[in-house]
Structure 1
Amino acid sequence: MDQQAIIDKIKQHKKQPNLRFALKERVEAFTNKLFYTLFDIDTPVEGNLDILKSDFEELAKLACWECENPCSKVWKGYLESLPNVLESLNLDAEAIVDCDPASLSIEEVYMAYPGFYAIAIYRLAHELYKVGFPLVPRLMTEYAHSKTGVDINPGAKIGKSFFIDHATGVVIGESAEIKDHVKVYQGVTLGALYVAKDLKETKRHPTIENNVTIYANATILGGETVIGANSIIGGNAWVTESVPPNSTVFHTPEIKIKTATNV
């Protein structure tokens, strides 16, 4: 097969007219600029907001091929949401400092904690998800996923003072609801019991009430599953039904230790 025949074959199977990876790259640049504008003391807010507005209009052109109304109109409402988002993120950072004895300063949390970065990008993406802005919120959280190992769907609902410790491997599904002052450790999954396309409009992921701690590698599944307030879910627990408030759930594996006697 000559080169032209190969080119023709590739074009034949290149079927998605709106699949422009420039959108993905621009979302990542927009996300970085937005994060720095909110947190970096040397990044000017005034000038960057004008740049972000222009960048957002470009994202709208690339992402909104099916929308009847111009997505650029979303910017004003999104801009107005940013002070509240920043206030929530500052509470998240303070919760991490208060809960983690290894944190030496709040600056360390903002710059070095992957859990905080994942929460920050989720909260920024969630505001766009709520108004139905297409694709960009998911690309934002997937960018954070690639950098931190934390997969938070932008549709999840997360309350105040959320703390993800160590971060890697955490999965939070689209219809999960997390209330205030919840702590989650690495490897935790808040997922669905079943995966089927016809469940799209149903609540598939669990609800976590106030002041719950979920330790490493615990898996909590199902839209009807509610973890009651002030409960503790131990490491490696597998939970598919609701837990009353003030409960402790733990997994008890059998551990055997053999010690050599002739050493």
Structure 2
Amino acid sequence: MIPNEIAPVGQLWQAIRREAEGVLANDPVFGAALSSAILDQPDFGGALSHQIGARLGKTPADRARFAELARDAVRCSPDLIDAASRDLQSIAIHDPATMMLLPPLLNFKGYVALQTWRVSNWLWRQSRNDLALLLQSLSADQLQISIHPAASIGTSVFLDHATGIIIGAFAVIGDEVTILQNVTIGRKHSEPDRAPKIGRGVLLSAGSTILGNVTVGDFAKIGAGAVVEHNVPPGCTAVGVPARLTNCPEASVPA
């Protein structure tokens, strides 16, 4: 359990290890898997890389190869670890279903898919596009989450109940965004170079679709099943098909 604030990565890792040691003491049957995933790892980056390999690889050789790829990425780009730390702690702080760090790290496929995207995005920025797209494909196959490597995603992001999430190329997603299952964020065929921009603290509810050159303002909420093709001002709620605005702050309501 962590306090209601973002801790440094080193402190996070110690908290994860303490949780793992407590689980091992209470449930020795879980010990072998827990040791390889956490207790045998040198640091948070090692544990995270192990999880990416374990989730994406179908064979031991594949799992080792993808884990090593993730290790290379976090060694070359330490900001990936900082982002992964913020994502994980945000789940423990804000998700009422868990107040611990270990369960989302080991069992929340949305968390692993997001960190897989961070590695693929790093590869994309290194012009290793084919390998980046391979990771996207594997994430779609194994985790049912497809995030294009050319998307842009902030930190403290939570993919909750993460199944059927699609985030297209060039989409921009801000910090502290929560995305539920079966959400699509993508371009229109008539605007192939324009993708949605999702502001800070936005909630995208289950089954919602955001399409085209639209902006969803900070702390807006998109209702379940809504189809958004026009801008949503900050703080507003958009519901329905096509989406209409409701519960807007007074400043967002036209005169």
Normalised by the size of structure 2, how large is the TM-score?
0.66
What is the aligned partner in structure 1 of residue 218 from structure 2?
Answer: 229
What is the aligned partner in structure 2 of residue 246 from structure 1?
Answer: 235
CA contact (8 A) 2:173 2:199 kept: yes
What is the aligned partner in structure 1 of residue 203 from structure 2?
Answer: 213
Amino acid at match of 1:118: A
What is the aligned partner in structure 2 of residue 172 from structure 1?
Answer: 167
CA-based RMSD of the aligned residues comes to 3.0
For the residues of structure 2 that align with 1:113 and 1:100, how far apart are their CA atoms?
A: 12
1:45 CA drift (Å): 5.2
1:252 CA drift (Å): 7.8
What is the aligned partner in structure 2 of residue 129 from structure 1?
Answer: 124
Q: Deviations over 1:142-169 (max 9, x none)?
A: 2122121111111110001110000000
Q: 3-state DSSP class of the match of 1:210?
A: coil
Determine which structure has more spread, i.e. the larger CA radius of gyration. Answer: 1
Counting matched residue pairs gives 186
* Structure 2 residue 100 is matched with structure 1 residue 89: no
Q: 3-state DSSP class of the match of 1:154?
A: coil
CA contact (8 A) 2:174 2:198 kept: yes
Unaligned residue ranges in structure 2 (runs of 5+): 1-35, 50-69, 243-255
1:112 CA drift (Å): 0.4
Call closer, same or farther: CA 1:214–1:83 in 2, change over 3 Å.
same
Alignment of 1:30-49 (within 5 A): 40-44=37-41
Call closer, same or farther: CA 1:243–1:115 in 2, change over 3 Å.
same
CA contact (8 A) 1:117 1:144 kept: no
% of aligned pairs identical? 30
What is the aligned partner in structure 2 of residue 108 from structure 1?
Answer: 103
1:113 CA drift (Å): 0.3
Q: 3-state DSSP class of the match of 2:78?
A: helix
Amino acid at match of 1:95: S
Normalised by the size of structure 1, how large is the TM-score?
0.64
For the residues of structure 1 that align with 2:119 and 2:87, how far apart are their CA atoms?
A: 13
For the residues of structure 2 that align with 1:242 and 1:41, how far apart are their CA atoms?
A: 44
For the residues of structure 2 that align with 1:211 and 1:177, how far apart are their CA atoms?
A: 13
For the residues of structure 1 that align with 2:161 and 2:211, how far apart are their CA atoms?
A: 21
What is the aligned partner in structure 2 of residue 154 from structure 1?
Answer: 149
Amino acid at match of 2:196: P
Call closer, same or farther: CA 1:135–1:95 in 2, change over 3 Å.
same
1:134 CA drift (Å): 2.9
1:83 CA drift (Å): 2.1
1:43 CA drift (Å): 4.5
Alignment of 1:47-86 (within 5 A): 78=73, 80-86=75-81
Unaligned residue ranges in structure 1 (runs of 5+): 1-38, 53-74, 196-200, 254-263
Q: 3-state DSSP class of the match of 1:171?
A: strand
Amino acid at match of 1:41: I
